[in-house]
A = this chain, B = another copy of it.
Amino acid sequence: VIVMPHSAAETIYQAIESIELIDPHTHINPHAPASRTLADILGYHYYTELAHSAGMPKEPIEEPDLAPRELVRRLVENLQPLENTSQYHWLVAICQKFFSFQSDRLDSSNWEALYDTAEKTMSAADWSQTVLQESKVRAVFLTNDFDDSLEGFDTETYIPCLRTDDLVFKFHQRETQERLERSSGVSLNGSLSSLRDALRQRFEHFSAKGGRACAISLPPNFEPTLVNEGRGTNAFDAMLHQSESAAPAQKQAFSRTLFWMLAELCDEFGLPFDLMIGVNRGVYASGVYQGQDLYDSRVSLIQYRELFNAFADVKFPVSVLASVTNQELVSYAWIFPNVLTNGHWWYSNTPSFIHRDAQARLEAVPANKQIGYYSDAYKLEFVWPKFDMYRRVLSNVLADHFVGMNGWSEERAIELGHRVLRGNVEEIFLKQS
């Protein structure tokens, strides 16, 4: 019997596959972290939006009060054109790993049996614990509204992260203002100090509850700058008194004012500030839920020049939406001590973009500044297949570039893999500063 030796890529993969993960960005609901039926899995926007893109109307997907089994039936009938996508690959991987699915295609001949098996499996009381364990996941970061009470869950496993999009971009809405006043207990009296007090109360709340990061997603045209006190007060006044009808220039000045305060508070509270740069919301307004956002790839990190210079002590893990911005990210992380590379986001989260982006980072960004990956998952079941896609690509880059071209040992390549997969998440987010 001839035993073929593992390739370097396979050896490295096996080693990094065993690393226990901390997922530094998800949208998991800590009160319902895992799925209950296959509808929770197939209802993920990647499947609904791709099925819709391939020709399925929106109405049968979003019909009110639709039973989960019926949603799955309808979607399964429309999956065939998606079989080539990486997203479909995650789906089959989940079914195989967690529900003993034997096929590599989900279709009308096999979905019902799968549905039943999945439902039964997921009904176990400790299902979410099982998923975490089988996925070798120790903890996941959440995406919490600024007025989240952060109560009723284990913050060691489900780590709070203060998401601030509403504050920066929806503050002209009366509802946002009221949510901030209510949750902070601070009355917004028109002075910027009242606003700062309210925000600081929220940072105190998050810090007390184990929050480990502040995060925001940003449109391509956003350019954070320091707005002077008078201009900022004026803009704040317009938000409070004109609300939605405030002039665009006022909204922009206010967004910059509040964003800058967040950066100051990240500095004060020692929190990394995750910047997810480049998304335009609602570009396809008739799309399915969460399947409407796109982008203009003409964005540059030069827009963040003033921010990166002003906050030398704040760590900015940066995600870019389009691969075309990745080289700028590599260069800015190579030069600015406070700029870090963070994961492979959304439209760049497919193998070929991950490959080229990860390799460029590994060649030029200091190893301690690279957060390899986050799942962005809404349900725990997705953490594993998404990370596994990344691990496959990472193993190939480590094997080809570092072992093959640079002559590294496999052990050394595995160490680098560990660092970007796990070590840096601890160093950057979890170490007490």
Binding site for B on A (CB under 8 A): 49-50, 52-55, 81-87, 89, 104, 280, 283-287, 291-298, 300-302, 305, 308-309, 312, 322-325, 327-328, 330-337, 347-348, 350-353, 356, 359-360, 362-369, 392, 401-402, 405-408, 416
Copies of this protein chain in the complex:
3
Contact B298 A300, beta carbon cutoff 8 Å: yes
Q: With both chains docked as a complex, state the minimum distance between the C-beta of A7 and any C-beta of chain B, in angstroms.
A: 12
A286: B residues at CB distance < 8 A = 309, 312
* Max count, chain B CB within 10 A of own CB: residue among A328, A363, A368: A363
A81: B residues at CB distance < 8 A = 366-369
Contact A295 B366, beta carbon cutoff 8 Å: no
- When chains A and B are docked, how far (Å) is the Cα of A305 from the Cα of B85? 24
- When chains A and B are docked, how far (Å) is the Cα of A392 from the Cα of B404? 12
- When chains A and B are docked, how far (Å) is the Cα of A350 from the Cα of B405? 13
Contact A82 B302, beta carbon cutoff 8 Å: no
With contacts A50-B334, A298-B300 taken as known, whether A363 is within 8 angstroms of B352 at the C-beta atoms is yes
Contact A327 B323, beta carbon cutoff 8 Å: yes
Q: With both chains docked as a complex, state the minimum distance between the C-beta of A412 and any C-beta of chain B, in angstroms.
A: 8
Contact B297 A300, beta carbon cutoff 8 Å: yes
A293: B residues at CB distance < 8 A = 335
Contact B353 A295, beta carbon cutoff 8 Å: no
19 example contacts (A-B, Cβ-Cβ < 8 A) are as follows A49-B335, A54-B337, A54-B366, A54-B369, A82-B366, A84-B363, A283-B305, A284-B336, A286-B309, A286-B312, A294-B302, A295-B331, A297-B300, A322-B328, A323-B327, A327-B347, A327-B348, A350-B360, A356-B356
Q: With both chains docked as a complex, state the minimum distance between the C-beta of A4 and any C-beta of chain B, in angstroms.
A: 15
Contact B295 A328, beta carbon cutoff 8 Å: yes
Give the secondary structure class of A's interface. Answer: helix
- Closest B residue, CB atoms, query A334: B53
Contact A416 B84, beta carbon cutoff 8 Å: yes
- Closest B residue, CB atoms, query A358: B352
Q: With both chains docked as a complex, state the minimum distance between the C-beta of A352 and any C-beta of chain B, in angstroms.
A: 5
Q: With both chains docked as a complex, state the minimum distance between the C-beta of A87 and any C-beta of chain B, in angstroms.
A: 7
Contact B297 A285, beta carbon cutoff 8 Å: no
- When chains A and B are docked, how far (Å) is the Cα of A329 from the Cα of B220? 17
Of the candidates B300, B322, B360, B392, the one whose C-beta lies within 8 Å of that of A327 is B322
Contact B352 A359, beta carbon cutoff 8 Å: yes
Contact A302 B295, beta carbon cutoff 8 Å: yes
- Closest B residue, CB atoms, query A357: B352
A53: B residues at CB distance < 8 A = 333-337, 365-366, 369
Contact A401 B351, beta carbon cutoff 8 Å: yes
Contact A85 B366, beta carbon cutoff 8 Å: yes
Known: A291-B335, A352-B363. 14 other contacts (CB 8 A): A53-B336, A53-B365, A84-B367, A85-B364, A86-B363, A89-B406, A284-B335, A294-B332, A295-B328, A296-B300, A297-B325, A297-B327, A323-B327, A331-B347
Q: With both chains docked as a complex, state the minimum distance between the C-beta of A339 and any C-beta of chain B, in angstroms.
A: 8
Contact B352 A83, beta carbon cutoff 8 Å: no
A309: B residues at CB distance < 8 A = 284-286
Of the candidates B89, B325, B364, the one whose C-beta lies within 8 Å of that of A86 is B364
A84: B residues at CB distance < 8 A = 362-363, 366-367, 402, 416
- When chains A and B are docked, how far (Å) is the Cα of A82 from the Cα of B366? 5
A298: B residues at CB distance < 8 A = 298, 300
Contact A335 B292, beta carbon cutoff 8 Å: yes
Contact B328 A327, beta carbon cutoff 8 Å: no
- Closest B residue, CB atoms, query A291: B335
A287: B residues at CB distance < 8 A = 335-336
With contacts A89-B406, A336-B53, A352-B359 taken as known, whether A294 is within 8 angstroms of B331 at the C-beta atoms is yes
- When chains A and B are docked, how far (Å) is the Cα of A336 from the Cα of B300? 25
